[in-house]
Amino acid sequence: MMSRAFGSSSARFSDNFRCFPVAMLAAKSVSMTQELETGGKIILPPSALDRLTRLNISYPMLFEISEYDEVLSRDHPDAPAVGKVTHAGVLEFIAEPGRVYMPYWLMTNLGISEGSLVRIRSATLDPCSYTKFQWQDAEFMEISNPKAVLEKTLRKFACLTLGDTIAMHYNNKIYELRVTDLKPKSAVSIIECDMQVDFEAPPHYVEPDYKAQSAAAKQVAENQVLQRASLSQSPAGQTMLSLPEEEFSARFKAFSGSGARLDGKQRNSPLSSSPGLGFGAGSSPSRATPVSRNSAMSPGGTGASTPVPDTPPSAPTGIVWKKNRITFVRVVPSPVAGAAPAANANGAAVATGPQFAAFGGKGNTLRKN
């Protein structure tokens, strides 16, 4: 590891470190690791902070990162970097001596691997006024408000470099955005600045033909109308439309299809097929004699009907039962005056007990008078 120029107050910080991804950092918490991986800041050792405090550097601390060239650094230590260069801010100074931790996407931009030697130098960048991003994944268009998501992501960044591809984490997915334009320079600071953001489609992206999609949806709707019209011209449809409304309501049987169990077993109470127009299986549009509501099929299945009593056999006396009406009996009425007393199965009279009276109990007090 080599250090350059620390004698003057206007010197520029420059040092070389071994680069490692943030996944290898023993971070204080999981949230810190996630912030490092989804942001644009690095972790430097405490010795770098000690040297930076002795120099006249501008705040916030921004750094230029490039791959270390041993020949260039030995012969021309102050020469500009050759090859890929990027910029980043610093989050904390907790790395081991001689090491720097950075996000994996930043290492990918530099084209370096784990343990590579990089040169880090302090930098002063102008505030950004305009930036343009080119999304690399077509699913990026499915985000309802991409600018709001990008704004939240850029809060973890300190600067941007032209040509970099940043990683935006949203909804458990990583979206890659390439920086295609920056103003006023190719490397800018985005801390406390007012910048305009624009998006650009990838070179091979083909925008969907929304007019063709609208025409296809319109054609589907027209086909549905034609299907309804053809149904009205069928024999069953004509029979249905020719019936009066009252007769149609009387013959219509909703949910008249057949049912089946998911386990494959036979149903305990199979549905009975009732005649009518029939919208279920086994139905026919022919007219049929309606079956009375108060009749039941004979056991022999001949179609003869037997009357069914309107009053249940175990119904209490004194209650009027009506058809098509559900009655909830909450209090059994008192016997009608002049009616015969209740009798058991042998015909003997049964004494009736006292009638129910609400809140008819007795009250007691805990204190004794």
pLDDT in tens, 212-222: 777 777 778 77
Which of 84, 99, 124 terminates a domain? The answer is 124
Domain boundary pick from 124, 145, 164? 124
Least confident of 200-204, 265-269, 303-307: 303-307
Confidence (pLDDT) at 135: 85
CA distance 102 to 105: 8
Question: Which CATH number covers residue 155?
Answer: 3.10.330.10
Q: Are residues 22 and 66 in the same domain?
A: yes
Do 109 and 170 lie in a common domain?
no
Identify the band that residue 90 occupies on the pLDDT scale cut at 50, 70 and 90: very high
The mean pLDDT value for 274-278 works out to 44
Report which residue type is found at 215. Answer: A
Least confident of 85-99, 151-165, 192-206: 192-206
Query: Is residue 355, in this structure, part of any structural domain at all?
Result: no
Range(s) of the domain holding residue 140: 125-205
Whether 14 has a pLDDT exceeding 80, the answer reads yes
Q: Phi-psi region for residue 115, left (φ > 0), alpha (ψ -120 to 50) or beta? A: left
- Provide the CATH number for the domain around residue 68: 2.40.40.50
| Burial zone of 278 (CB within 10 Å; 0-12 exposed, 13-18 middle, 19+ buried) | buried
Residues near 231 by beta carbon (within 8 Å), at least 6 away in sequence? 237
Shared-domain flag, residues 79 and 63? yes
Of 99-113, 183-197, 213-227, the one with minimum mean pLDDT is 213-227
What pLDDT is attached to residue 344? 56
Exposure on the CB side of residue 325, measured as CA atoms within 13 A: 10
Instruction: Please give the pLDDT value at position 7.
Output: 40
User: Is residue 176 domain-resident?
Assistant: yes
Asked whether the predicted pLDDT for residue 101 surpasses 90, the reply is yes
Percent of the chain residues topping a pLDDT of 70: 60
Is pLDDT larger for residue 315 or for residue 32?
Answer: 32
Partners of residue 194 on adjacent β-strands: none
Three-state DSSP string of 201-243: CCCCCCCCCHHHHHHHHHHHHHHHHHHHHHHHHCHHHHHHHHC
Say which range, 22-26, 183-187, 197-201, 237-241, has the weakest mean pLDDT.
237-241
> Does residue 69 lie within any of the structural domains?
yes
Give the end of a domain, one of 205, 223, 255: 205
Does 1 share its domain with 115?
yes
Query: What total number of domains does the chain contain?
Result: 2
48 and 116 inside one domain: yes
Q: How many CA atoms lie within 13 A of 292 on its CB side?
A: 13
Provide the pLDDT confidence category of residue 325 given band limits of 50, 70 and 90.
confident
Q: Which residue has the higher pLDDT, 211 or 112?
A: 112
User: Which residue bears the tokens 């009518």?
Assistant: 276
Nearest to 334 by CA among 319, 350, 314: 319
Most confidently modeled range among 142-151, 158-167, 243-252, 274-283: 158-167
Query: Minimum mean pLDDT among 84-93, 134-143, 336-345: which range?
Result: 336-345
Number of H helices, E strands in the chain: 8, 15
Average pLDDT over residues 167-191: 91
Contacts of 365 (CB under 8 A, 6+ apart): none
Residue of higher predicted confidence among 184 and 295: 184
Mean of the per-residue pLDDT values for the chain? Answer: 74
- Least confident range of 30-39, 156-165, 338-347: 338-347
Q: Judge whether 104 lies within some domain.
A: yes
**Residue 197 three-state SS:** strand
Q: CA-CA distance, 288 to 16, in Å (whole number)?
A: 96
Residue 230 has pLDDT above 70, yes or no: no
Q: How many CB atoms lie within 10 A of CB 216?
A: 10
- The pLDDT of 256-282, averaged and rounded, is 58
Indicate if 111 and 129 belong to the same structural domain.
Answer: no
Distance (Å, whole) CA 120 – CA 140: 33
Q: Which residue has the tokens 């040297």?
A: 51
Locate 65 and state its tokens: 């990162």
Percent of the chain past pLDDT 90, that is, above it, reads 24
What's the rounded Cα separation, in Å, for the pair 369 and 367?
6
Residues 96, 3 within the same domain: yes
Residue 109 and residue 34 share a domain: yes
